[in-house]
């Protein structure tokens, strides 16, 4: 079936720099997207979400961009901090009445001091 995937398995950035984590999705029917952060030994933690009728949404230090033309999603983290080190997952709701999220395989963000 169609699934969500990520371009880079590991991203290493310097503290204070901006980070960009990318995600490609293939189901054009998906109408809701969400980013989660997962630290070791913990469950995924919500970061930010976006519906398909938007192309940008901002939170505290985070921005999600949605490009439906090329089916691409990105998470931007401003002024990356050591506490941002974790695995980041994008997930989609594939619409058609489905209530479950489909997750990609994750990108590990490593913040160098």
Partner 1 sequence: DTGVSQNPRHKITKRGQNVTFRCDPISEHNRLYWYRQTLGQGPEFLTYFQNEAQLEKSRLLSDRFSAERPKGSFSTLEIQRTEQGDSAMYLCASTEDGGREKLFFGSGTQLSVL
Q: Which residues of the chain form contacts with partner 1 (CB under 8 A)?
A: 4, 32, 34, 36, 41-46, 49, 89, 91, 93, 98-106
What pairs with residue 25 in β-bridges?
4
For residues 21 and 107, the answer to whether their CB atoms sit within 8 Å is yes
Tell me the C-alpha distance between 12 and 2, whole Å. 29
- Residue carrying structure tokens 């990318």: 22
CB of 49 to partner 1, least distance (A): 6
Q: Of 50 and 77, which has the nearer Cβ to partner 1?
A: 50
Tokens of 45: 């933690």
CB of 64 to partner 1, least distance (A): 13
Q: Of 70 and 100, which has the nearer Cβ to partner 1?
A: 100
CB of 16 to partner 1, least distance (A): 28
């Amino acid at each position: 079936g169609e699934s969500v995937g990520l371009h880079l398995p590991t991203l290493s950035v310097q503290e204070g720099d901006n980070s960009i984590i990318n995600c490609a999705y293939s189901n054009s029917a998906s109408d809701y997207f969400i980013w989660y952060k997962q630290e070791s030994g913990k469950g995924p933690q919500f970061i930010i979400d976006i519906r398909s009728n938007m192309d940008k949404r901002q939170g505290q230090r985070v921005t999600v961009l949605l490009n439906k033309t090329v089916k691409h999603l990105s998470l931007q983290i401003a002024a990356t901090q050591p506490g941002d080190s974790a695995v980041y997952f994008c997930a989609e709701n594939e619409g058609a009445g489905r209530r479950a999220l489909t997750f990609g395989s994750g990108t590990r963000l490593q913040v160098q001091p």
